[in-house]
A and B are shown apart, each in its own frame.
Chain A
Amino acid sequence: MSDPQPIPSCCGTAPPAPGGSNPFVNGLWKQNPVFVQVLGMCPTLAITNSVRNALAMGLATTFVLASSNTLISMVRKLVPKQVRIATYIAIIATSVTVVDYLVKAASISVYKALGPFIPLIVANCIILERAEGFASKKPVFASLLDGLGMGLGFAFALTCLGSVREILGAGTFLGVPLFGSHFEPWVLFLLPPGGFISLALWLVTFTTFRQIKARRAARAAAAAAETVPAGQLVEVRS
């Protein structure tokens, strides 16, 4: 049940966190925890067999990220370095326990569907990574935005996976049947292999998209460079 080690460059193309950009957009898109950083794979694969579960898990994680980031940023100057990880874990575990109660209060059926994955949010490496990598160094408001951005980015990614799996695997979206009674559900997509397949498809889509964008940017930069030292470039081309 352990999450993969946080290896930020595991998909080869993850750019380093740009310092100046808006932390909210950064988490939601540029550094999307699932599609770019490929973190938190355990819940990503396990509970995305329906859109409802994916959304619930995403929002629960968002709550934990936002609250733990905010609290950690508030205490960041008071905590001695040696016990900072222990303090972060205590704060994260508290947020997770609170979320556990909140989900139970909101809906028992969602709580049952998510099973052990709500308590396991505490082990989701995105959370500790954001605590150590962002909230422990940045002011409170920026940390809150970062937590919200990362959390909603996670929720967005889970919902993407959940949509593919629920539509193909059950023929429904949020429980509403999409096709007639003749639709034969592709049950594979509700089973674990379907999680891997749809994750792979989404990762391919996102990586291709990013590569095209990077190539276009490189070409634009090259074109801009071409116009200035024109003499040299003619030689290169021939």
Chain B
Amino acid sequence: MSTPVPPAHAQPSMANAIRMIRVLGVVSLLCGVFIAGAHVTTLERIRHNHEVILRSSVAELLPGATREVIYGVEPSGELTILSDIEEGGSRFFAGYDASGKFLGVVVEASGRGYADVISAMYSYSPEKREITGFKVVDMKETPGLGSRIGTDPDFLANFKALDASLGHPITTVKHGTKKNPWEIDAISGATISSRAVGRMLEASASKMAPVIARNLNRIEQGN
């Protein structure tokens, strides 16, 4: 900005500088107060929104679940019950129906897709050692092509009973060539996104399934 030099009758430059500092200081202080105020007032509501989204995804993947327990997985493989849905890290949700019967777990998985990280959730049945449902939570895949991993009914049918017993790695195969229960039939035209889904499920399941199997008694009781 080509600010003109202050006219000659202006105060000495020191006083000018102090005035600038004062004005900027006061303005920044007020701005800080505003931002802090906005943060404090919206905090509870934002937390609530996150929780609603997570819980509704869990309920969608485990139909009939009326209660969830969130387990955090320690690096040592130990489980801890998390009370706050916001707590990050490695974790999964165990779902129980109204009578308290254990239905299965929902695990979060994410992996690099075609455009950006795809984050998703899947339900896993420790009893059948199968993935029983899959839902994309967030992605930036190409609309109409890669984005079909979240909507294509044929693709989602792969995850009704996907073998995750880890005898064979979960792999994505070319469209129309699925033969084995651990294979995912890719969407033609969205091979990269389909493969990304296969990779992230394999990575997540091979990490989480043993932890869940080890602690199954505890999870079934929900404590």
Contact = CB atoms under 8 A, between A and B. Distances in A.
Contacts of B34: 94, 98
Classify chain B's interface size.
Answer: 20 to 34
B49 interface: yes
Contacts of B145: 187
Contact of A104 (B1, B3, B23, B46): B46
B160 interface: no
Highest count of chain A CB atoms <10 Å: which of B38, B45, B143? B143
Chain B at the A interface: SS class: helix
Contacts of B35: 94, 97-98
A93 B32 CA distance: 10
B80 interface: no
A98 B42 CA distance: 9
A170 to B, nearest CB: 8
B24 A102 contact: no
A36 interface: no
A85 B3 CA distance: 11
B28 interface: yes
Interface in A102-122: 102, 104-105, 107-109, 112, 115
Contact of B27 (A81, A87, A97, A187): A87
B19 interface: yes
A81 B34 CA distance: 24
A83 interface: yes
Interface string A190-219: 110000000000000000000000000000
B177 interface: no
A80 B19 contact: yes
Classify chain A's interface size.
Answer: 20 to 34
Highest count of chain B CB atoms <10 Å: which of A79, A91, A94, A112? A94
B97 interface: no
Contacts of B4: 81
Contacts of A75: 27
B56 to A, nearest CB: 11
A185 interface: yes
B50 A108 contact: yes
Nearest to B44: A105
A49 to B, nearest CB: 7
A86 interface: yes
Contacts of B41: 101
Nearest to A115: B140
B31 A105 contact: no
B49 A107 contact: yes
Nearest to A96: B35
A108 B42 CA distance: 12
B38 A98 contact: yes
Interface string B95-108: 00000000000000
A169 B143 contact: yes
B42 A187 contact: no
B3 A191 contact: no
23 contacts: A75-B27, A81-B3, A81-B6, A82-B3, A82-B16, A83-B24, A85-B1, A86-B24, A87-B27, A90-B28, A91-B27, A98-B35, A101-B41, A101-B42, A104-B49, A105-B42, A108-B50, A108-B53, A112-B138, A170-B143, A187-B144, A187-B145, A190-B143
A-B pairs, 7 with minimum CB distance: A187-B144, A190-B143, A94-B31, A105-B42, A105-B45, A98-B38, A101-B42
Interface of A: 49, 75, 78-83, 85-87, 90-91, 93-94, 97-98, 101-102, 104-105, 107-109, 112, 115, 169-170, 185, 187, 190-191
Interface of B: 1, 3-4, 6, 16, 19-20, 23-24, 27-28, 31, 34-35, 38-39, 41-42, 45-46, 49-50, 53, 138, 140, 142-145
